[in-house]
Amino acid sequence: MRETIDERTISGCKATLVFDTGGPVGSDHLLIVKPVDTDDWLINRWFYFDEQTEAYIWDFAEKVCSDEEFRQRSLEETADWKRVANLYEPLSRGLYQKLSRSERSNFPIMNDNSRPDSEKLESLCEQLFKETKAIVRQGKDRHPESVYDEKEAELQRWLADEST
């Protein structure tokens, strides 16, 4: 499901914030930013977990529209936010796949039995996102795949425990 939340014109750009349930785990807010009069560029950004606040999202839109250097780094996928997203998104989808293929789980069909599965996935992915963000932004000496391996092992242990 996709629904427009808000649209704004900022420094010659159109920024559209949408609610989209098809995003990566931990995100249902997508910002689409492009110039008003041309199709020269387009930036899509999912916002995850605690980033999903209007102030944070619109500050990002303002920066994309007014800071040409930041916009260029975003387009070249060298901006921190894009590097984090490029690492996090496939890893979170991997955890989603593991859970959805589990014989124990009804996930992704939402019912009372699958709610704990969804909560566990959300928790693991939030930890994965925070650690991936720290790796990129703070230069932590770890690789995102090693964090993923830890979260996958935790998910496997959780799935094997019949009492959860």
Residues 71 and 104 in one domain: no
Least trusted range by pLDDT, from 59-73, 81-95, 107-121: 107-121
95 Cβ contact partners less than 8 Å away, ≥ 6 residues apart = 25, 121, 124, 125, 128, 148, 151, 152, 155
φ/ψ bin of 43: left (φ > 0), alpha (ψ from -120 to 50), beta (otherwise): beta
pLDDT digits (tens, 9 = 90+) for 10-64: 999 999 999 998 889 999 999 999 999 988 999 999 999 999 999 999 999 999 9
CB 52 within 8 A of CB 1: no
Q: How many domains does the chain have?
A: 2
Structural domain that includes position 140: 80-160
Residue at a domain's end among 56, 75, 94: 75
The confidence score (pLDDT) of residue 88 equals 94
Co-location of 85 and 155 in the same domain: yes
Helix (H) or strand (E) holding 17: strand 13-20
- Same-domain check for residues 99 and 36: no
Residues of the chain with pLDDT > 90, as a percent, come to: 64
C-alpha 17/C-alpha 57 separation (Å) is: 8
Are residues 48 and 115 located together in one domain of the fold?
A: no
> Tokens in use for 108?
């992704």
Q: Are residues 60 and 87 in the same domain?
A: no
Question: What band does 107 get if pLDDT is binned at 50, 70 and 90?
Answer: low
105 lies in the same domain as 153: yes
Query: Of 34-48, 68-82, 89-103, which range is least confident?
Result: 89-103
Quote the pLDDT of residue 32: 97
Res 144: pLDDT: 83
End position of a domain, from candidates 75, 107, 127: 75
The pLDDT score that the predictor gives to residue 130 is 94
Instruction: Write down which residue in 75, 110, 139 finishes a domain.
Output: 75
pLDDT of residue 112: 65
Do residues 69 and 94 share a domain?
Answer: no
Question: Which two structure tokens, joined as six digits, stand for 139?
Answer: 């230069």
Do both 106 and 153 map to the same domain? yes
**Structure tokens belonging to residue 90:** 């496939």
What does pTM read for this prediction?
0.86
